[in-house]
Amino acid sequence: MTNKFADGDQAGAMNYVTAECTLNALKSVGQGRIIDLSQEIRSGHPCMQPAQSPFMMTMRATPEMMLRGGGRHGITNNLGAYTERVELCMHTGTHVDALGHVTIADEMYGGYRVSEMTNNLGLQKLGIEQMPPLISRGVCINVADLDGGDYLEGGRVVTAKDLKNALNKAKVEIAPGDVVMVRTGYSRYFMKDNQKYISTEPGIDVEAAQWLTGQKVSVIGCDNMGVEVLPYPEKGKMLPVHQHTLVEAGVHLIENLVLDELMRQNVTTFCFIMLPIKFTGATASPVRPIAVL
């Protein structure tokens, strides 16, 4: 286990986000500008079936329904209202993976085992409710131009050397507790060509992930569906980066980020804020991360 803190730990690399990390991130804010790093969640959202289900939202109540039934309940002020019902996989849109999302056989982060983990109400340990609110320094590594264009093609491996070179170019060093985001430019296909977006993607390999976790980062994110390269170059392997980061290193993953505006404004480091929703026992949570400048 690379960054394992102790058997029974459920915070993982979030342990690196000290009060000093948070204070330094907040002190870096000078302009008061906010950049939204999230995708909208709406009908037609890309999803990898059968593991993920489509997003669905239907209206549960409308003003017409309320007005028709108001008299029966003694309502005299012509109240109208809308409410809705939503069905979604927690891995919909911009979301953060819980440490309990994947396994290595029976093994899970913190010494937990699959055999003792689940029931119909979700994970008994390592659910997303265990991830605290996050305020730390964000670092956006732009590798979208590695091949001379504006974005990387699906299947393109982003190596540890690629990350180091991009950081050197930006004159930035990673520090413990940082939230590191890798920009590949692949978000251009989100809701534009969903089949292409989910069938292949550029991303980091295990070596690059190991280098990042070795820097004691708290979270890794990317502007694609799964952070790691798809398909994985080694035949027969599926989601090995997830296995290393979540199971071995205790590092949460943020997927489907929107990082283009950061690059348009030439922003590499910033105050990063993200608050996962405490869905007890869930393997992920939709989030709305922001960069505050």
pLDDT per residue over 81-102, tens digit each?
999 999 999 999 999 999 999 9
- 66 half-sphere exposure, CB direction, 13 A CA radius: 14
DSSP notation for 110-134: GG-BGGGTEETTEESSS-GGGSPPE
- Start-end of CATH 3.50.30.50 domains in the chain: 12-39+96-292
Give the ranges where the chain is alpha helix by DSSP (H).
19-27, 63-70, 160-170, 194-199, 206-214, 240-242, 260-264
Sign, Cα dihedral of 163, 169, 174, 180: negative
Q: Which CATH architecture has domain 12-39+96-292?
A: 3-Layer(bba) Sandwich (3.50)
pLDDT in tens, 143-161: 999 999 999 999 999 999 9
pLDDT in tens, 15-34: 999 999 999 999 999 999 99
Pairing mode of beta strands 134-142, 269-274 = antiparallel
Average pLDDT over residues 62-74: 80
Count Cβ atoms below 10 Å from residue 155 Cβ, excluding itself.
14
Report helix, strand or coil for 166: helix
Per-residue three-class SS string for 192-225: CCHHHHHHCECEECHHHHHHHHHCCCCEEEECCC
The set of residues, in sequence order, having a beta carbon less than 8 Å from that of 146 and lying 6+ positions away, is 152, 156, 158, 162
The set of residues, in sequence order, having a beta carbon less than 8 Å from that of 165 and lying 6+ positions away, is none
pLDDT score of 239 more than 90 = yes
Closest CA to 114 of 129, 100, 98: 100
pLDDT of residue 64: 87
Average pLDDT over residues 47-75: 85
Are the C-beta atoms of residues 124 and 165 closer than 8 Å to each other? no
